[in-house]
Amino acid sequence: MNMQYTDSELESLLDDVESDLAERKESWKGDAPDKGRQAVCDFANDLPDHRRPGVLFVGVKDDGSPSGLGITDELLRTLADIKTDGNILTPPTITVEKRVLKGQDVAVVAVHPADAPPVRYKGRIWIRTGPRRGLATSQDERILNEKRKFRDLPFDVHPLSLSTLKDIDRLLFEQEYLPNAFAPDVLETNERSYEL
């Protein structure tokens, strides 16, 4: 999942104050670092199952307009440290960059959905319900655990949606895979063709 938002998509997220894919912080002072990490956690959990990144904007007012905050290298490094400071487990996949949106610099933290939710911030599971952030209920946690079980399947069990039968090397399949995967008597008993 290598999704990067365009400037126009980010500006649309800035304008949509009801979006459950965006969180806005005017600065990175006061309770913003704590609330911002909660947002990173809830985006990583992706309870609504968007399967695309949630975005934490820093340097943006609640109404979606840029606040004029100076987006320095130090701020960008601080935001990047969210991934590795040990407060969010398992560490989320994030990208941090300075973007020019609505004519001003803004820090953009894109948080990709976790493959193995639930993700916890300081031991708590944060989720997004519409534009609000909150703690997961036991039912929410069960749903996140099910998502993890589904995604934790071995690589050879995941379907390849773009593959066709023409991609299968029939000789290799019949002479190497089948005899190693199944006992000879099982193969004899099963009279179905490999296409099934």
- State the average pLDDT over residues 6-26: 94
Residues 57-99: tens digit of each pLDDT? 999 999 999 999 999 999 999 999 999 999 999 999 999 999 9
CATH number at residue 63: 3.30.950
Calculate what percentage of the chain has a pLDDT beyond 70: 91
**Is the residue at 124 inside a domain?**
yes
Do residue 139 and residue 170 come from a single domain? no
**Is the residue at 195 inside a domain?**
no
Do residue 112 and residue 136 come from a single domain? yes
Residue 196 has pLDDT above 60, yes or no: no
Q: What is the pLDDT of residue 72?
A: 98
Do residue 170 and residue 143 come from a single domain? no
Residue 8 has pLDDT above 70, yes or no: yes
Give, in order, the Cα–Cα distances in Å from 126 to each of 83, 119, 142, 162, 180: 16, 8, 13, 35, 45
pTM, two decimal places? 0.76
Is the CA virtual torsion 88, 93, 99, 101 positive or negative? negative
Do residue 119 and residue 139 come from a single domain? yes
Please provide the average confidence, as pLDDT, over all residues in the chain. Answer: 90
* CA neighbor of 96 nearest in space, from 39, 46, 49, 58: 58
Query: Which residues span the domain enclosing 102?
Result: 7-151
Residue 9 has pLDDT above 70, yes or no: yes
